[in-house]
Structure 1
Amino acid sequence: MEQAQEVPFYTEEDFGKTELLPSYRVDLRNPQNEELDAFINANVVADWSQLTWKQIGKPYEVRTVAKSKQEWERDHGEMTVKTSWEFFNRSFHEWFVKDVPGALADSKKELRKHLARFHWHEVKEALGETVRLSFWNYVHRVQDGVWDPRGKRALFEGLDLNKPRILFLGAAEGYEAMQLHAMYPEGEIVMVDYDDFCRTDRFGHFPDRYPFLGMNSRTGLPRVWHKNQMNIHYEVDDIRNLPFGKEFDVVLSVGLLEHFPDEFKAEALDWHRKFLKPGGYAIMTTPRLQWKSKLFYTVMADVMNHTYRELMDIRQMGLYVYEGGFEILRHGYIKAHNGIVARPR
């Protein structure tokens, strides 16, 4: 039997390349961080202490609910937050590992078959799947708007960090912490999620070949990093139970704050302060309030909408962070996310 050829990892020889693979995009353009998809320093608020909720209004709440959540709750009653998160993780992960072009071709074939037989219920289901696959293909593979490596690198640029310890709250597959580690190498990442599926599958099956553009600390030159070259520990626990003190240079969260109604936001923000060394950075993102995001959470409702979720503009996100006791050093947005770099006041 002929042995399968081992696919090589990416190296510095691949600088400048961008490549569409079946389930994601590789982007090794601009290794010097020039001409990045810019982190827009919005500077829309000069003095956060003068901003009020009356001026800006509250975030937009996503109310469309996944069918699987509705069906489960009909039999069992209201989902707990942990169960909702578990449903979301498994649903979302299925899309990250899809051969999207292959699945899209199969879906279109099914759609044509049902159209020919006038099976209208099946037509509706096949059409919905085709639309979702087409949308996911555009958002995640073509535009790379979920991982968004160039935007995330722009958000993380210019920090005063040397071999940092990074704590990632609600880490899921851990993408952003690995990108941050690549840019400021030789430190340590501690990823935290209370769903073990995130450790075993979302992080565990994150592609080893995926290349992160970062730096070689010894030469000061750009370098390609991979997951297996990083110092990563994964903790499966409720954030409220973590035993750490103020020992991290960065506390990071991506798409965490918007899952908490207002009565719990102060507690969620306190987690970002609780584990920071003096002078450390809290870095947070939330999905942007824009028509593209509303469309995404409508089309992808059965994949995404198992948990409480809001869409915010940068002023709304920033006011939560400021009221949570932080000095906002930088605020702005990238493709699909607001981004804030802050320190405790």
Structure 2
Amino acid sequence: MQTATTNSRIVQSETQLTPSFRLDTREYSAKERNKFVKENTVRDWSQLSWKDIGRPFQVTSYAKEKTNWEKEKGQALPVHTSWEMFNRSFHEWFVKDVPTEMNVAKKQFFSSLTSFKPKQISSALGDLARIHFWNYAHRVQDGIWDPRGKRALFEGLDVEKPRILFLGAAEGYEGMQLSAMYPGGEVVLVDYDAFCKDIRFGEFPDSYPFLGENPQTGGKKVYHKDDFNVTYLVEDIRQLSFGKEFDIVISVGLLEHFPDELKPDVVEWHRKFLKDDGYIIMTTPRAQLRSKLYYEIMSDVMNHTYRELMTLEQMGLYVYENGLDILKHGYIKVHNAIIAKPR
């Protein structure tokens, strides 16, 4: 563990597992940085074509909660309801005491073996697989929050005390990380499910450390949730009344929830609120074998609505064809990542 003293807090460069998530304020060298973000693999986006790269992989294994609702009602699950279901399901997993749950699932599985009932055994095995997969993806790998990868992605923006707009913000993690790296500004989080404001953000752990910049010393500083100037709006993105007033507009895992005919609208939601010299940041889950396995095993937790997995090239081509110049692109653990500006 390394420590550095600032005039406000002690910055501890360390990582630590809690029962529900990982804390990580480790720094990295320029050489180590390449472990966390693989940058600029495409030299000229204008030379890509859909014929060459193909279309995204659509996830079609849906949560039982969704399929049971549709069977009972005889109609497609409304989009707003699907997000309400997803947010509650996802949060339930975020707050689990994972080691305890792993022990319970293991005992239940071995107990089921004595029943000689295939359905009971299969159900217990599924529960065991899900909790172990969640432990690996979220606690061990820290693939959902991914603080070092996102700090590597977010670094180098030419902004000071920025206004940040986070579309589909959920618990607002990335907005807070940006505000730690570029302190003194404002974060506006937007989600149209009040559960996200009241519970996912409202119960986000006050002790969670965000490593950022100390403008007084030029060194590092650890921030916490209550250090940020946050406004949380429960509104539909399409109904926001803002003008072009934000330095950064960000979304995390938004583009992939819309079919092709709506993707230009998603890109426009970012551009319409951005200052002329502002930055658009977007990420999507990457099309790779372990991601496909994750969304299959965790379907009851994750898959309540339309979802695609994309390659970086597919995501980038959507963005490029809809009027954005891509300044930086790369991989951050399980997500594709793009920083762009309007052409």
Query: Do they fold alike, i.e. is TM over 0.5?
Result: yes
Contact 2:98 2:135 (C-alpha < 8 Å) held by counterparts: yes
Alignment correspondent of 1:249: 247
Alignment correspondent of 1:339: 337
Contact 1:31 1:222 (C-alpha < 8 Å) held by counterparts: no
Alignment correspondent of 1:215: 213
Number of corresponding residues: 334
Counterpart AA for 2:32: E
For 1:13 and 1:48, how far apart are their aligned partners in 2? 44
Contact 2:45 2:317 (C-alpha < 8 Å) held by counterparts: yes
Gaps (5+ residues) in structure 1?
A: 1-10
Matched position secondary structure for 1:201 = helix
Matched position secondary structure for 2:300 = helix
The answer to which of 82-91 and 46-55 deviates more is 46-55
Matched position secondary structure for 2:51 = helix
Matched position secondary structure for 1:117 = coil
Query: Displacement of 1:49 after TM fit?
Result: 2.0
Matched, 1:25 2:22: yes
Counterpart AA for 1:66: A
For 2:81 and 2:31, how far apart are their aligned partners in 1? 42
Query: Displacement of 1:151 after TM fit?
Result: 0.3
1:272-294, Cα deviation, whole Å (9 max, x unpaired)? 10000110000000011111110
Alignment correspondent of 1:79: 77
1:48-102, Cα deviation, whole Å (9 max, x unpaired)? 2222111111111111111110000011211111111111111111110000001
Contact 1:60 1:310 (C-alpha < 8 Å) held by counterparts: yes
Instruction: Provide the identity percentage.
Output: 61
Alignment correspondent of 1:64: 61
Query: Displacement of 1:112 after TM fit?
Result: 1.8
Query: Displacement of 1:14 after TM fit?
Result: 5.4
Alignment correspondent of 2:50: 53
Q: Write the mapping of 1:182-331 to structure 2, written as runs, cut at 5 A.
A: 182-331=180-329
Alignment correspondent of 1:95: 93
For 1:33 and 1:256, how far apart are their aligned partners in 2? 30
For 2:69 and 2:30, how far apart are their aligned partners in 1? 46
| TM-score scaled by length of structure 1 | 0.94
Counterpart AA for 2:284: T
Contact 2:10 2:221 (C-alpha < 8 Å) held by counterparts: no
Matched position secondary structure for 2:283 = strand
Contact 1:170 1:253 (C-alpha < 8 Å) held by counterparts: yes
Counterpart AA for 1:150: R
For 1:314 and 1:139, how far apart are their aligned partners in 2? 20
Matched, 1:118 2:116: yes
| TM-score scaled by length of structure 2 | 0.94
Given candidates 143, 146, 158, the residue that maps to 1:145 is 143
Counterpart AA for 2:129: V
Matched position secondary structure for 1:173 = coil
Given candidates 172, 175, 178, the residue that maps to 1:174 is 172
Gaps (5+ residues) in structure 2?
A: 1-7
The answer to which of 287-296 and 112-121 deviates more is 112-121
